[in-house]
Amino acid sequence: MRGAKRLLMIGIMGVAVGCGTAQRSVQFSDAAKAISSSQEGAGGEYAPGELESAKELFKKAEAAGPQSPEEVHFAYLAQRQAQVAESDGQRRKLKREVESAGDTRTAILEEARRKAEKRAEALEARIAALKADRERMQGRLVEVDRRLAKFVDVQSKKDRLILTINGSVLFGFDKAKLRPIAKTRLRQVAGVLEEQAPDRRIEVIGHTDSLGKEAYNEQLSLRRAEVVRAYLVRSGLSSSRVQAIGRGETEPVAPNDTAEGRASNRRVEIHVVNPATASAASLNTAAGR
């Protein structure tokens, strides 16, 4: 039995490491460790049903693309469910110990029973807290997706998520002054960043199309990045973790020979980088010239 558990742990950890070039998220790795730990611990023996639920959530995370919002979402839920399974297993194990000690009359075993009951009560509270946290997280993710879907296009890259606002929203042509609607959008984005990524470094990067001189475009992109940075700070983000960068016309995302392509290239991106790992999620918001 112990050998089978060890083989399962090795298999799950192998999935978490992966054999391809795409690196899995931190949440995915944490979920794999939590499931393996519970399988080796009390969860595998005393709470197999709860642990199986964690494995099903992990399979959904595994089926999602590396670093995708779905992978992070299901991996987080799998980790929480594995922790619930381990806590439930510990509680049932302790309950069995309490029941076996019930007929013992010695002072030593009576004291042990009282301690076990206290530990069981503490575990009950922990289980309730974990379940409540899982439910809050599910509701939070649904709400964040709903709020951002109204005004951004969400994409996933190797080390970050990219949230893109239409280029015409932030600025008028050849201007570095925010439109009123841009302020509303940026306040919403700042709220989500503060809520979901309070400890991450933020880079505000300005871009332009190829009309005009290159040096002028570089300065314009920097001014726009600085304006967006200032507004995000005014909306609640810490100034010490927000940096403004101007890239000018050097990084187009579409051809500059059409009006539509130039509009796509006129943007401001907000990169949110996890300082603890190069594979952390980030958010980039694009705005128009």
Locate the domains of the chain by residue range. Answer: 2-148, 152-273
Question: According to the model, what pLDDT value does residue 150 have?
Answer: 57
Question: According to the model, what pLDDT value does residue 154 have?
Answer: 63
Question: According to the model, what pLDDT value does residue 276 have?
Answer: 42
Architecture of the domain delimited by 152-273: 2-Layer Sandwich (3.30)
Contacts of 263 (CB under 8 A, 6+ apart): 167, 168, 209, 288, 289
Name residue 273's beta-bridge partners.
201
**SS3 state at 28:** helix
Question: According to the model, what pLDDT value does residue 184 have?
Answer: 86
Residue 79 DSSP class: H
pLDDT tens, the chain, 289 aa long: 545 555 455 455 555 545 444 789 999 999 999 999 999 998 888 989 989 999 999 999 999 889 888 899 999 999 999 999 889 989 988 888 777 766 666 667 677 778 888 888 888 888 888 888 777 765 655 555 555 555 566 666 666 666 777 666 788 888 888 988 888 888 988 888 888 778 788 889 899 999 999 999 999 999 999 999 999 999 999 999 899 999 999 999 899 999 888 888 888 888 877 644 333 333 333 333 3
- Size of the chain in residues: 289
Question: According to the model, what pLDDT value does residue 55 have?
Answer: 93
Question: According to the model, what pLDDT value does residue 143 have?
Answer: 56
Instruction: Read off the pLDDT of residues 36-46 as tens digits, 9 standing for 90 and up.
Output: 999 999 888 89
Q: In this structure, which amino acid lies at residue 13?
A: M
Question: According to the model, what pLDDT value does residue 286 have?
Answer: 32
Question: According to the model, what pLDDT value does residue 280 have?
Answer: 33
Contacts of 20 (CB under 8 A, 6+ apart): 66
Contacts of 118 (CB under 8 A, 6+ apart): none
- The tokens for 15 are 């999935």
CA distance 166 to 181: 12
Name the one residue in this structure whose structure tokens are 């392509």.
261
Residue 275 DSSP class: T
Question: According to the model, what pLDDT value does residue 149 have?
Answer: 55
Question: According to the model, what pLDDT value does residue 108 have?
Answer: 73
**SS3 state at 75:** helix
CA distance 164 to 264: 10
Q: In this structure, which amino acid lies at residue 134?
A: R
Instruction: Read off the pLDDT of residues 144-198 as tens digits, 9 standing for 90 and up.
Output: 555 555 556 666 666 666 677 766 678 888 888 898 888 888 898 888 888 877 8
Angle at 153 between CA 269 and CA 170, to 5 degrees: 45
Of the candidates 55, 48, 112, the one whose C-alpha atom is nearest the C-alpha of residue 85 is 48
